[in-house]
Amino acid sequence: MKKQIFNDLTAQTLFESEETQTKPKGVLKILRGCVADFKPNRNGRVYPRKLWENVINSEYYKDMIKNKTLFGEADHPEERLELSLQNVSHAIDKIWIDEARDQVWATIHILDTPLGHTVANLVEYGSHLGVSSRGAGEVKRDGSVDPDSYRFMTIDLVCRPSVAAARPAVIVEGEDPNANYISDEELNSILGNYSSNS
């Protein structure tokens, strides 16, 4: 199998903006939400659970998290897999598998960088940005990405995710830490409105 470099836009539900949480120095906003699931996306690719388990348990991920250098960019680079410091808009603080939702979730810090300010302004404007994993690996005949060959780099923020419903909404957190979670009915309503308008 030929190894491919690819970027995939894989968020499935809503992001939450944690406005009331104490933000670390250099952070404009904190987002938290789904960044992937285990279903086929618009590109026909499936990122299985084992792939994300490998990512979370990898030395690369652990080292980047420990050193606060798992940066991402606003939009994908055209033909570059590596990270570029001058293009950083955010940092991934943590990635985990949310067992209850059967999804991959992350906490993302929008940074006080030129592109971070662009992203923060878009969020303030009300833009529902998508997310996209960036990596390289082999794609099997069934469309699934081989977990053992996949090389994860980061998660980027994008305008149009490969999954039609993957437009995370930013929800301002209130005093109640559970207030920023929306019900399944609200989520289906939002996604239904999106689908009917696309």
More confident residue, 100 or 159: 100
The string of pLDDT tens digits covering residues 159-191 is 876 654 455 545 343 333 333 444 455 555 555
pLDDT score, position 160 = 72
Mean pLDDT in residue range 27-44:
87
For residue 139, give the nearest of 30, 59, 48, 56 by alpha carbon: 48
Residue type, 139: V
Q: Where are the beta strands (DSSP E) in 22-87?
A: 27-36, 71-73
Which DSSP state fits 182? Answer: -
For residue 160, give the nearest of 75, 80, 81, 87 by alpha carbon: 75
For residue 103, give the nearest of 21, 168, 156, 42 by alpha carbon: 168
pTM over 0.85: no
Q: Coil, helix or strand for 98?
A: strand
